[in-house]
Structure 1
Amino acid sequence: MKKVLAAAFAGVATLAAPAAQARDDEGKVQVKLLGTYVATDGKITAVNTDLVGLPAGTQTEASDNFVPTFAVEYFVSPNFSIETICCVTQHDVDAVAGLPGAQLVSDAKVIPATLTAKYHFDLGGVKPYLGAGATYFWWIDVEPGAATIPLGVTRTTLSDEFGLVLQGGADIAIGDSGLGITVDAKRYFIDTTARWYAGNTLAIETEHKLDPWVLSAGVSYRF
């Protein structure tokens, strides 16, 4: 029996060696081209200034968006990597209560600068991962909503903020050329302060919970 076990172990070791070598030879850099669905909240959590007299119970919601995303990932070790993404996403903010249907923010564009650390589980051709990190939402263009302009609003801003990110997904290899398919889900935890100005006068200031879900799928290449 000992001889059989030794022979079996030697056989498994022989078969496993090329696979282990293949894993060791995997590239340290992975790039991804993804289609990304961004589903934000946009709920008002506080009203700090209100010279207009918003109706009681006024509540808002931000629109969803679908955008292309480019990601770059560096593998510090076979199981540990650091990833950043690049995209610009655009959203409107509409009232859903108090002023239902009123557009309050138009075409707000944000760069969600994001850096996450990820741990990969090796299941052969499929490698699930979990990650966490930080983000900085940089608003590069915000326009007053159509419903605010008749009220004398001339400028609208959303504050840039830091936040946290949780991440999960999987990389699925296609052969051994470095090509693959990626599915990814992120949950951001971040707020913003919205301000509407009439000339130089701050007319309305509200705090908003954004907390978007960011769901992506696409192709990857590791080299």
Structure 2
Amino acid sequence: MKSNFRIAFAAALLSTVAVPALAADLPSAKAPVYAPIVDDSFDPFLIRVRALGVLPNGSSSTILGGPIYGASLSDNVVPEVDFTYFFTKHWAAELIAGVAHTSLTGSLTPVGTNVNFANTTLLPPTLTLQYHFALGQFDPYVGVGANYTWFLQTTSPLTRTLGYGDAVTIKPTAGLALQAGFDYYLTKHWVLNADAKYLFLNTDANTPFGPNTVHVNADTWLIGVGVGYRFGMADLFPTPVVAKY
């Protein structure tokens, strides 16, 4: 009798040890829980390449105090590069650079034929302070800033015809710049962009007839579409990966 009791007690004791051990060997029914990977890095740099329509006004230009009838500056489409630096999620500064060729044409009389007063190349760097609405993938923005335009390599078919050569010099000028546009983020880094700026520009030109004898209204629309790449310091200087064994 005692022998049977000892056998039963030993079996019960072994079962209390074996059941937890067996449970430990069985696979868990619950899937492992991993912490979510969140990329909350702030990328302050944005570089874009755009096709830029340069649409100057030219109307209300004058020569020797009288109107240039039908005065206009020719339109152009040029490549443009711009650089944006984000101070915060919403505030940024943008600088654009590009050149465009234009011609000032018009007539000296109301019924006269158009003549080419000057051909010139515009270099209009523009710096704007922007506010970005940061609506996720779609990021509209507005901006205000300043423009400074140089007029380079100016020639004048009119003064050539009159025997004075290319004796026309258009003075550089500064003006207010207004801006509106949007970025659409295809990925964290790549964006599509559409942008419009209006430059308030007026300048004078020296001619063989005296200083400041031509006044040019050069108010200009800059309409651009393009693609950009946004990045941060980690993209410029990636942290080396150290393997662990």
TM range (shorter): 0.7 to 0.9
Contact 2:131 2:142 in 1 (8 A): yes
Contact 1:195 1:206 in 2 (8 A): yes
Instruction: Name stretches of at least 5 consecutive residues in structure 1 with no aligned partner.
Output: 1-16
Query: 1 CA distance for matches of 2:68 and 2:61?
Result: 11
**Pairwise mapping of residues 126-205 of structure 1 onto structure 2 (< 5 A)?**
126-144=138-156, 146-154=157-165, 155-176=167-188, 178-197=189-208, 202=210, 205=213
Secondary structure of the 2:114 match is: coil
Residue among 128, 133, 136 paired with 1:121: 133
Query: 2 CA distance for matches of 1:141 and 1:62?
Result: 16
Q: 1:100 offset after TM fit, Å? A: 3.1
Instruction: Say which one has the larger Rg.
Output: 2
Query: 1 CA distance for matches of 2:79 and 2:133?
Result: 27
TM-score (norm 1): 0.79
Residue among 35, 60, 78 paired with 1:44: 60
Contact 1:26 1:222 in 2 (8 A): no
Contact 2:205 2:211 in 1 (8 A): no
- Residue 65 of structure 1 corresponds to 76
- Residue 235 of structure 2 corresponds to none
Query: 1 CA distance for matches of 2:161 and 2:61?
Result: 25
Contact 1:61 1:94 in 2 (8 A): yes
- Residue 102 of structure 1 corresponds to 115
State the AA in 1 paired with 2:80. Answer: T
Q: For each residue in 1:113-140, what CA deviation from the matched residue of structure 2 results, as whole angstroms up to 9, or x when unmatched?
A: 2110000002110000000000111122
Q: 1:209 offset after TM fit, Å? A: 1.2
TM-score (norm 2): 0.73
Higher relative contact order structure (alpha carbons within 8 Å, sequence separation ≥ 6): 1
Query: 2 CA distance for matches of 1:103 and 1:203?
Result: 19
Residues 1:153 and 1:41: Cα distance change in structure 2 (over 3 Å): farther
Q: 1:46 offset after TM fit, Å? A: 4.4
Residue among 41, 63, 73 paired with 1:25: 41
Query: 2 CA distance for matches of 1:214 and 1:208?
Result: 18
State the AA in 1 paired with 2:154. Answer: V
Secondary structure of the 2:158 match is: coil
Residues 1:97 and 1:129: Cα distance change in structure 2 (over 3 Å): farther
Report the more deviating stretch, 24-33 or 147-156: 147-156
- Residue 214 of structure 2 corresponds to 206
Aligned length: 193
Residues 1:180 and 1:159: Cα distance change in structure 2 (over 3 Å): same
